[in-house]
Amino acid sequence: MSAPSPGVRLHYVLQYDYVEDVVEKRAPFRAEHLAIAQAACERGELVLAGALADPVDGALFVFRTEDRTLVERFAREDPYVRNGIVTRWRVRPWTVVIGGGPK
């Protein structure tokens, strides 16, 4: 992957696909899932995160980093992934041109 142009901030988007009835099935793992997400946020890695709605069938996480492996490690360690709540996950680079906070 080539380096971003000046003024462009590199982010990664982590996308989850969830099992059916996720709201009920995630309950035993939710506190730990939120804790690791909050820790990533406090470290300045995770910028935004949340479930998609109507229907609740997935989630998006936006990481501000140039290190794709950091995002992949987050997914592999997430209790939702480890316990089958997430049926598929993928990481995509996202070049933010407008917005995104300080460089």
**Domain-located, residue 102:** no
Give yes or no for residue 59 having a pLDDT over 90: yes
pLDDT of residue 10: 86
**Domain-located, residue 3:** no
pLDDT band at 84 (very low <50, low <70, confident <90, very high): very high
**Domain-located, residue 65:** yes
CA-atom Rg of the chain in angstroms: 14
**In a 3-state reduction of DSSP, which class is residue 56?**
coil
The pTM score is: 0.88
- Give per-residue burial for 83-101: e unless 16+ CB within 10 Å, then b: eebbeebebeeeebeeebe
- Non-local (6+) Cβ contacts of 22 within 8 A are 51, 56, 57, 85
Look up the CATH number of the domain holding residue 53. Answer: 3.30.70.1060
**Domain-located, residue 7:** no
Count of domains for the chain: 1
Per the structure, the complete domain to which residue 32 belongs is given by: 20-96
Q: What percent of the chain has pLDDT over 90?
A: 81
**Domain-located, residue 103:** no
